[in-house]
Amino acid sequence: MTDKNCIFCRIAAGEIPSAKVYEDDKMLVFKDIEPKAKVHLLAIAKAHFPSLPEEGDENALTVAYMLTKIPAIARANGCESGYRLVVNQGVDAGQTVFHLHFHILGGETLPW
Write out the residues near ligand AMP by the rule CB under 6 A. 7, 16, 18, 32-34, 42, 88, 94-97
Q: Give catalytic status of residue 101 as yes or no.
A: yes
**Helix or strand run (H / E) with residue 20:** strand 20-23
CA 39 – CA 47 distance, rounded (Å): 25
| Shortest distance, position 19 Cβ to ligand AMP, whole Å | 8
Query: Closest approach of Cβ 29 to Zn ion, in Å?
Result: 15
52 binds, among Zn ion, ligand AMP, none (CB under 5 to 8 A by kind): none
Radius of gyration of the chain (CA): 13
Coil, strand or helix at 23: strand
Separation between Cα atoms, residue 57 and residue 55, nearest integer Å:
6
Show which residues are catalytic: 101
Interface contacts to Zn ion, rule CB under 5 A = 3, 6, 8-9, 48, 99
